[in-house]
Amino acid sequence: MTADDQNHPARPRITLTGISSRAWEHPADRGALTALRELRGFDDVVRGFFGLWNERGFRLSYLAGAIRADHRQYPRVHRLFTEAATTLDVLELPELYVEQAPIIHGRAVGMDRPFVVISTAAVEKLDDDELRILLGHEIGHVRSGHAVYQTIMMILTRWAANVSWLPIGTIALRAIIAAMYEWWRKAELSADRAGLLAGQDPAASLRVLMKQAGGGDLSQIDTAAFLEQAAEYEGGGDLRDSFLKIGMTAYRSHPVPVARAAELRRWVDSGQYARILGGDYPRRDGDGDASVTADVKAAASHYRDSFQNTSDPLVSLARRLTGGAVDLGDWAGTQAGRARAWAGTAADAAGRAARRQRGDDSGGPSGGPSGGGATGGGTAGGGTPGT
């Protein structure tokens, strides 16, 4: 036990029995995913990767070059991983690896058999409460079914010059990559909520983000000042700052730490976190009845509220020019209908690709990839470059 652990004694946590990933998924996560699915050529990308990509090489690389955590190796990490999974009512633990890296991060890798990887810096610099939250964050990615898209994104950005076999043009591919980055940033907000639910310690969630921003030593960092940074980043400056922020985040897979801290605090202040701990949350047994239309309308409502309430100078100018009128209702209904049609087509295509790999191309419908839905409840992880 580290000195930090002694300063933050263990607290009881509520087991969230049967909780669905819909409980923590950010509405913008679902909205950005719906928009991504609407891009011309994206279904071709998904079909192509399902037909050709094999995740065994990824697992073998970590089996060869990292440490697999269990009750014998990194037992502290494995214990915290088990605790986070238990709190989120995950019965089957993914494999967990620790890799040598000087930066605090984690990732979930794989489509069919996901596994989680965290860095040695995370093990060394995070106390028990903080590490439990980071591990819960990665479990959130696994449970939310972020697998397919995050893994495809990792491959696209790593080998973008070598995907000429995809049946789409360069301009379309660039648009898809940009849209995937936008979705990925929103997916991280969902996983941040999952991490908080796993650890049930808002102060520890904030400390994780502070340590990621500042290197791990909090002895000279003040929480209030860090949150002031977040407020200044979100609303300060002029139009030049707004354009600079667009440029600096467009091709980032993760929101900046101060923005993540502010967003997580807003979620806690909204009362949703407390309601979930009180037992008011969607259950997995209701995932089949979840409404795509309702999810997309929730995303539209989120964007509408953000547009109306943000103090960003560029958005403030847009409000003045449009008189504050933003109607996303029609957009929500249209996107929901298209998303349903896309989901059926992509599921059939993925099933055919899987059967071809098994040598059984007998045709017919398929359930598609595990965990590929925006409404969550899946069991596949995704390749993320860092928590």
User: Following DSSP, what letter does each residue of 205-247 receive, concatenated?
Assistant: HHHHHHHHHH-S--TT--HHHHHHHHHHHHH-S-HHHHHHHHH
**49 within some domain:** yes
pLDDT for 145: 78
Higher local confidence (pLDDT), 275 or 258: 275
**62 within some domain:** yes
> Is the CB of residue 204 less than 8 Å from the CB of residue 130?
yes
pLDDT for 295: 61
Higher local confidence (pLDDT), 45 or 16: 16
> Is the CB of residue 253 less than 8 Å from the CB of residue 385?
yes
Residue 302 has pLDDT above 60, yes or no: no
Higher local confidence (pLDDT), 384 or 225: 225
Residue 205 has pLDDT above 90, yes or no: yes
**168 within some domain:** yes
Contacts of 288 (CB under 8 A, 6+ apart): none
**374 within some domain:** no
Q: How confident is the model at residue 204 (pLDDT cuts 50, 70, 90)?
A: very high
Question: 89-93, 104-108, 323-327, 363-367: which has the minimum mean pLDDT?
Answer: 363-367
**285 within some domain:** yes
**379 within some domain:** no
Within a 13 Å sphere around the CA of 135, how many CA atoms are in the beta-carbon half? 32
Separation between Cα atoms, residue 287 and residue 25, nearest integer Å? 13
Higher local confidence (pLDDT), 38 or 383: 38
Separation between Cα atoms, residue 324 and residue 257, nearest integer Å? 29
pLDDT for 12: 85
Maximal C-alpha separation, the chain: 64
Question: 69-73, 162-166, 339-343: which has the minimum mean pLDDT?
Answer: 339-343
Question: 26-30, 53-57, 104-108: which has the minimum mean pLDDT?
Answer: 53-57
pLDDT for 349: 45
C-alpha distances out from residue 74 to 81, 120, 174, Å? 11, 10, 41
Radius of gyration over alpha carbons of the chain, in Å? 21
Q: How confident is the model at residue 305 (pLDDT cuts 50, 70, 90)?
A: low
**318 within some domain:** yes
Percent of the chain with pLDDT over 90: 34
DSSP 184: H
Higher local confidence (pLDDT), 303 or 181: 181
Separation between Cα atoms, residue 85 and residue 372, nearest integer Å? 20
> Is the CB of residue 280 less than 8 Å from the CB of residue 22?
no
Domain of 174 in residue numbering reads as 21-358
Average pLDDT over the chain, rounded to an integer = 74
Specify burial of residue 250 (Cβ count, 10 A radius: 0-12, 13-18, 19+). Answer: exposed
What tokens does 314 get? 């560029």
Phi and psi, residue 118, nearest 5°: -130, 165
Number of domains in the chain: 1
pTM (2 d.p.): 0.72
Q: Which residue has the tokens 């994104």?
A: 153
| Interval 256-271 mean pLDDT | 91
Highest mean pLDDT among 101-115, 227-241, 356-370: 101-115
Separation between Cα atoms, residue 203 and residue 213, nearest integer Å? 15
Separation between Cα atoms, residue 134 and residue 208, nearest integer Å? 7
Higher local confidence (pLDDT), 109 or 4: 109
Specify burial of residue 59 (Cβ count, 10 A radius: 0-12, 13-18, 19+). Answer: middle
- Beta 95-99 vs 67-68: how paired, if at all? antiparallel
pLDDT for 339: 40
> Is the CB of residue 173 less than 8 Å from the CB of residue 155?
no
Residue 118 has pLDDT above 60, yes or no: yes
Separation between Cα atoms, residue 87 and residue 90, nearest integer Å? 8
Question: 99-113, 140-154, 220-234, 350-364: which has the minimum mean pLDDT?
Answer: 350-364
**314 within some domain:** yes
Distance of CA 199 to the CA centre of its chain: 17
pLDDT for 298: 59
